[in-house]
Amino acid sequence: MAFTVVLPEKALEVLMKRSKSEDKAVEELISEAVLQHLNIVDPEAKVELHLKLCEKYMREAEDFLAKKGYVQASEKAWGAASQVVKAVAAKEGRELRGHPALWEYVSKLAKELDDLELRHLWRTANALHQNFYENWMPPEEVELSVKDVKSLLEKLRGAIV
C-alpha cells in the first residue's frame, strides 16, 4: 500500500540532509523510522520493505525508459539494485549503510553463491548510478543496463528464499 505523507518543512529539511548523509532514499528513511517507532524488529519486515522499494523503483525505471527519460531511469534502476541487495542482507539480520557496504556485501555474495556474474551486474547498476550524475551513457546502453539490473534482481531474489 502506498500513501502520501505530509510533513512540516523542518522535518523535510532534516530528512533530505539525512538522506544524503546516509545515502538512502527519503522513502526508506521514513519507512525505517515507522518500523522503529512501532518497535517492529522482525527482519522479515525489513526484507519486505526493501523488496517493495525495489519493485517500485524498477517500475519507475521502466516508466522513465518508456518516456525516454534515460537519466532518471538510470537512477531508479540503480535504486532497485541497491534495495534488492539490502533485502538479502536484511534476511541475514544485517543493515547496509552506504556504497562501500553495498560493494563489500555484493562481493561476499558473489563468493558465497559462486556467481561471478553478480559482480558484473552490480558494476552495471553502479554505472547507471554514475550516469544519473553525468549523463554520458547512450540511450541504448541505458536500456541494456536496465535489463542487466533486472537479471541482478532475479538472481538476488532467489537468494532470499
Q: What is the chain's pLDDT, residue by residue, as a tens digit (161 residues)? A: 677 888 899 999 999 999 888 878 888 888 888 998 898 888 999 999 999 999 999 999 999 999 999 999 999 999 999 999 999 999 999 999 889 999 999 999 999 999 999 999 999 999 999 999 999 999 999 999 999 999 999 999 998 87
Listing DSSP states for the chain in one string gives: --------HHHHHHHHHHHHHHT--HHHHHHHHHHHHTT---HHHHHHHHHHHHHHHHHHHHHHHHTT-HHHHHHHHHHHHHHHHHHHHHHTT----HHHHHHHHHHHHHHHTT-THHHHHHHHHHHHHHHHHH--S-HHHHHHHHHHHHHHHHHHHHHH-
Q: Which CATH superfamily is domain 12-160 in?
A: Nucleotidyltransferases  domain 2 (1.20.120.330)
Domain-wise residue ranges, the chain? 12-160
Supply 86's cell numbers: 539490502
The pLDDT value recorded for residue 160 is: 87
Distance (Å, rounded) from C-alpha 123 to C-alpha 128? 9
In this predicted structure, what is the pLDDT of residue 81?
98
Q: What is the pLDDT of residue 23?
A: 77
